[in-house]
Every structure is written in structure tokens, then in C-alpha cells.
Amino acid sequence: MKTVILAEKPSQAKEYASAMEIHSIKKGYIEIKDKLFPEGAIVTYGFGHLVELCLPGDYGEEYNKWSLANLPIFPEMKYRVAKDKIEQFSIVKGHLQKATQIIIATDCDREGELIAWLIINQAGIKRNEKKIDRLWINSLEKEAIRKGFKSLKSANETYDKFLEAQTRQKSDWLVGMNLSPLYTLTLQEKGVQGVFPIGRVQTPTLMMVYKRQQAIENFISKKYFEVELRGNQNNNQWTAKLKEKQQFDSKESCKKFLENEKLKEGKQNVLVANIQKEMKETKSPRLFSLSALQVVMSKKEKVSPKKVLESVQKLYEKKLLTYPRTDSVYITENELEYLLSLKESYQKLFSINQHLDHVDKKTRFVNSKKVQEHHAIIPTKKIPSQTDLKALTDLERNIYELVTRTTLAMFAETYQYEETTVDLVSNNVAFVAKGKVEKLLGWKSILNDVIEKETEESTLPSLELDTFIEMDLQVRSKDTKPPKAFTEGTLIQAMKTAGKELENEEAQSILKDVEGIGTEATRADVIEKLKSQDYINVVKNQLEVTKKGKQIGKVLESDKLFSSAEMTAVWEKDLKSISEDALTQDVFLKRIKHLVKSYIKQVPQNLANISKGTEWQEMQKAQSVGVCPNCGKDIVDRGKMYGCVGYKDKPSCSFTLMKKIMGKTLQQKDVSLLLSDGSTRTIKGFVSKKGNKFDAQLKWDKDKITFVFPNKK
């Protein structure tokens, strides 16, 4: 039997081979000898997606250029091998065709299923003509790899995940390749330049940021007033508020309340009517899913979800953390068993001296029924040395420590505190004050500064029941605050909980069931795509919609599907039905095509109605990214470049700036700075001809762009 193991990428293939007795690296594959494979085996690999969907131009030369006349584009969808990956695909194909057993060993998720089956299909291998098995593991440790190869699944058990992923891929193609040119060309006919990509997940995500920014920009702060008692006993300042939690919209209404209750501002004697003390406790945080970890690290380290995912992936490949792209916060009894056996070793790593004796199985953390594809992110059995930890990047080390401490926290005692509630009465008007005293830090002593600090409550003085104390009654003026702008972390959280604000209860239920829009593996990429498309920027860790984002936002405000997560809810319900054999791919794609056709009819009419309003003039005005240095007219987004609007004039102005320079797509704010100030900020991520990344400023110098490197004049 010739066994071929198909990995997703070279690094993964090397980990599999390293777990075997003998291995020998060849070009494009690795030969292995091991008692697991008595007749020998080879590990070959892709570079991620070796096979991709064909582009419109592959179906006919007429589709190389966008045209409304060509819409809709509904080809018999085919696949191709990316040009730069043909050599590796040929190697993989040759081995697969000779194999009598194929073991799919790509990442254990829907995307991994898609990558593997597209390669197998493109190699001309039918699903049932060979023995095809599936490796399904949560760790790249040698023991986990070998155990996984001893207990392979039939590939048929996970094939439905491929069908779901492929259906999602094809439907996204149909939406993107039809609606992106539809909106772009229709807007251009109305005088709005630029390219406006539309996507099933990215567009509702953009609209979440757009609507939040609109709410902030349109917010009008209002004053309100509260009545408070302020005490100062033994230099201990504390506050009590009206028990009924009244707020007053004007100082006059507040004063009227005081008059009616025969209260006056200033010093007065207040009765201590009741003192109630209650012991309370808080359980340790749940274990980490990917999105939960991205949210915490975004707030703590101010790093993008994409960077967090990349770092967790590296920690997985270094065998320090378990599989990263998980939406679960639970583990099974198997993981609990090894965590308990290594608990003290983890503690020594970070000098945790607390006794972690609460080792009983807790359903808050351990629940096999709630672990589907993968369990929560936890440390593996591999215990790194201090040298290993120092070799990690700062971000990797911080993530590893946070995950390990959070995992250990589930074995600690609960955080316990005594909450005191004091009822006060001033002239028959009830006030209340609350404070707490920590009694047992428990798990908090493990997580110390890595958790979000709670709002501190007042420390109340020692008081006696039924006594009078002197306090100061004050009317406090306060201002209502606008909603907070999204950060990348809070947007990830909002994507996961999308649907709470939907009026449609069924859509709410669906999105709750599928955990929002996007997946654990794709949400970070969606945000990166919105940034690269110049729809959003990150300014001081907050997300800001660009001029271009505002333009498409205005157009889609009244759209019932793309302006909310409702469409995604319907799609996710149907996609889930495909993986459950309750719906076919063909039926789903027919529905998508029907949706596309309806948009092709509706969008021109909707934009015609919008263009009659004054806000259309604002949109056209907003599209300029700067002033042309040649003729003084506006520079606008013209697809692959930024160019002068004077190119249509006679004589025409041919000034243009390419959007992509040395592998880096310029954002509008960089182009604006270049045109207004003559240079940009330092831009990260340029790529040299040799493939090396570098950072530099762009400078406008005598009709050409030059690089200015940091610390160099």
C-alpha cells in the first residue's frame, strides 16, 4: 500500500515527519519510515490554497474588463492552479495519483477540508476510488501526532465540512464578482469615482463600523443632574446616591424635587437606617476561544486580531499551545487529565506559588458534549524552558503566559469579597451606598495585571446602625456620553455577537447559534480586507471609516440585507443545513443567483433616487483625496490608481499615482499626506525585489516618488 499524507503547508509536513522514526526530505515531499506505516509513506504539501476558483476573465476575454452589460456573471464554476504554485501542484498530483491510501492532514477545520479536497479533485481523483482517511488532532506534539495517525477518521466523516466551505466560497464569488462591479460602475456613472468591493461578511461588518461612527458623529451631549450625599469620615471620602436612581434633565427640575422633599444642598444630619453585609464570589474567567483571546490582547496590548492569530499559530507550530482556530471555551476529560499532571510544572514557569487544589471536574470548563471540532486554547504537554520563553517574541510570550495563567486559574479558589450596602435617610428621602472589601483573591492572584481592572467601589467607613452622621448634599451636573468607537478587538466581539439588535427573532436565534458573522478563522482577515480596501483606518487604536467607507455606507444605509447581519443569518442557516444534508449546494447557489439578479435590477434604480438628494453632492465632494500638483483639480480613486479628474478634459491631465508600490497598497490618508505635505508617515510592510520587508516614508521629489528610510536623511 502506498500511503500519501497531504499536509497544508511545508512547516506542518515537517512536524508530521519529525514525529516518525526516520524521514528524508525531498523536493516537494518527505519520505518517512515508521512502524505506523510498515510499507513506507510520503508527506507532501500545499502552500495553503494550491487550487483556487477561476476569475471572470478565465471564462472569456470580454470579462477582463468590468461592464454592466456583462452582468450577471454565472459561469459553470471551475478551478485553476495558481501560476506560482504549478510546480508544487504537479509534485502533489503525481503522488496522489499513485497512492492507494490518502490521509488528509491539512488543518482540522472547514478551510482545511476545502484546501485538501480541491487539491484531490484537481488531481483528477474521485472521492470513492481510493481509501481516503482524515487525521484530526488539536496539537502538533509528537505524542498527539502519533496518536492521531493510530486513530484516523474516515474522510467521509468530515466531507460535509468541505461541501459547506465550498458552497460558502462559491457564493462569496458570485456576490463579489457581480455586486462589486455593479455598485462600482453604477456609482461611477453618477460621478463617484473609485472601486467599491462588496462581500457577504465584509459589507455587513463595514456597516457596523459605519453606523457606530454615524451615531458618534450625530451624538448631541445633554446635561443631566443627580442628587448625591458625600461623606468624609476620618479622611475617607464616599458617596451615596438616591435609592430610586432618579436623574433630572434640568437643574430646575432637580431643585423642584429638593423643594418637594424639603431638602437643601449643603451639610445635614443623615440617619444610618440599615447596614447589610453579604459575602459574594466570582468564578475565574472561561478558557480562551480564538476571538476571546483576540479581544483581550487587543485591549491589553493594542495589537490587531490578525497579529494575535499569527502569534497563536506560531505558538501552535512550536508545540506550546493547542489548535488556535477554535470557537470553543471547553475542554474534555482527556485535556483535564494532562493539565492536572503538569499543573505544578506550569506554575514553576511563572513563579505561581498558590495552592491550586480545586481539581474537581467543573462543567464550566470541562464538557465533552460542547467540544465539537476543537477544544479551547490551552498549553500543550510541552513545558518550555526559560531559554525557550526568551526566544519567543514579546507578543508570543505574553500570549503564552496569559493562556497558561487563565488555564491554571480554573484550579484556584473563587475570588471572594464582602459587599456592604448602607441605607441612609435624609428627611424621609432614601439614599444608598455600596462598597466592598476583598476577603480572598483566589484566581485573581494568578491573573494579576493580565485581566481587565474592575471599576473600584468606594471603601465605606465604619458606621453604626440608627445613628446620625453629617454628610454634604450636592447636586451634580453630568453629561451623557456617545457610544464608544470600535477597536479591532471590540469589532471582533461585535461580529461574534452580531444579531442582538436585529428585530427578526429568527435571525437573532440563527446568529446566536452560529456565533455571529464570519468564523473564528476569518474574522481577523475580514477586518484586514476592509483596511486594505481603504474602507476603514486604525487611528489611535480606534477604527475610523474613511471617506470611501462613508460613501458606500450612505448608499447601503437603507439596504435591508447588506446594512445589517440579517442576510448573513439567513445564509449561515442554509450553509449549516448543507453540512447536515438538509440542503444541497445547487439549491443554495440558485438562491444566491436569484439574489444577485434582484440586486442588478434594484441598485441602479435605488442610486437614481439617492442621487436626487443633497447628500449626493456631499458624497461627490467627499471622494477627493487631494489636489493635483499639475492642474490643481481633485485626485480621486480610479481603481488600481489614484488619478486626476482632469483626465476627461481637453487637454487632459494624466497625473496618476499607483495604489500599490513595492507590494504595499497605499491607504487614502497616505496619498493625502503625500499630496498635501510632500511626504507620508512611515509605512510598514514594503517588499523589496529580493522579498525582504522594509519600512519607509514616501516622498514626492521632482515629479517622482522616493523612499526615505527611518533614521536616515
Question: If residue 24 lies in a helix (H) or strand (E), which one and from where to where?
Answer: strand 22-26
**pLDDT on residue 505:** 58
Mean pLDDT of 377-389: 96
Residue 401: half-sphere exposure toward Cβ, Cα within 13 Å: 23
**pLDDT on residue 619:** 65
Nearest Cα residue to 688 out of 712, 660, 666, 663? 663
Q: Is 454 a residue whose pLDDT tops 70?
A: no
Question: If residue 169 lies in a helix (H) or strand (E), which one and from where to where?
Answer: helix 159-189
What is the tens place of the pLDDT at every residue in 20-41? 999 999 999 999 999 999 999 9
Considering only residues 657 and 310, tell me which one the structure prediction assigns the higher pLDDT: 310
Mean pLDDT of the chain: 89
User: What is the rounded distance in angstroms from the CA atom of residue 96 to the CA atom of residue 141?
Assistant: 26
User: What is the rounded distance in angstroms from the CA atom of residue 584 to the CA atom of residue 577?
Assistant: 8
- Grid coordinates in use for 329? 471555551
Q: Is 449 a residue whose pLDDT tops 70?
A: no
| 666-699: burial string, b at 16+ Cβ within 10 Å, e else | bbbbbbbbbbeeebbeebeebeeeeeeeeebbbe
Q: Is 532 a residue whose pLDDT tops 70?
A: yes
User: What is the rounded distance in angstroms from the CA atom of residue 25 to the CA atom of residue 203?
Assistant: 44
Q: Give the percent of the chain with pLDDT over 70.
A: 92
CB-based burial of residue 415 (10 Å sphere; 0-12 exposed, 13-18 middle, 19+ buried)?
buried
Cβ contact 555:183 at 8 Å? yes
Query: What pTM was computed for the model?
Result: 0.83
Tell me which of 83-87, 487-491, 665-669, 705-709 is least confident.
665-669
Mean pLDDT of 514-533: 85
**Catalytic annotation, residues:** 323
User: Which DSSP symbol is given to 558?
Assistant: T
Q: Which of 178-187, 457-466, 658-667 has the highest mean pLDDT?
A: 178-187
Which residues make Cβ contacts (< 8 Å) with residue 157, sequence separation at least 6?
134
Would you place residue 455 in the very low, low, confident or very high pLDDT band (cuts 50, 70, 90)? low
Sort residue 133 into left (φ over 0), alpha (ψ -120 to 50) or beta: beta
How many residues comprise the chain?
713
Considering only residues 505 and 254, tell me which one the structure prediction assigns the higher pLDDT: 254
Would you place residue 310 in the very low, low, confident or very high pLDDT band (cuts 50, 70, 90)? very high
* φ/ψ (deg, to 5) at 453: -70, 135
User: What is the rounded distance in angstroms from the CA atom of residue 5 to the CA atom of residue 7?
Assistant: 6
Q: Which amino acid makes up residue 649? A: D
Q: Which amino acid makes up residue 169? A: Q
**pLDDT on residue 706:** 86
- Grid coordinates in use for 469? 452622621
**pLDDT on residue 713:** 43
Mean pLDDT of 395-415: 96
Considering only residues 175 and 190, tell me which one the structure prediction assigns the higher pLDDT: 175
Q: Is 664 a residue whose pLDDT tops 80?
A: yes
Report the DSSP pairing between strands 101-105 and 131-134: parallel
Report the DSSP pairing between strands 236-242 and 223-233: antiparallel
User: What is the rounded distance in angstroms from the CA atom of residue 365 to the CA atom of residue 410?
Assistant: 8
**pLDDT on residue 456:** 54
- Grid coordinates in use for 701? 521629489
**pLDDT on residue 315:** 97
* φ/ψ (deg, to 5) at 112: -65, -40
**pLDDT on residue 337:** 92
Would you place residue 273 in the very low, low, confident or very high pLDDT band (cuts 50, 70, 90)? very high
Mean pLDDT of 510-526: 75
Q: Is 648 a residue whose pLDDT tops 80?
A: no
Mean pLDDT of 561-582: 76
Mean pLDDT of 304-328: 94
Considering only residues 619 and 245, tell me which one the structure prediction assigns the higher pLDDT: 245
Q: Which of 55-64, 356-365, 675-684 has the highest mean pLDDT?
A: 55-64
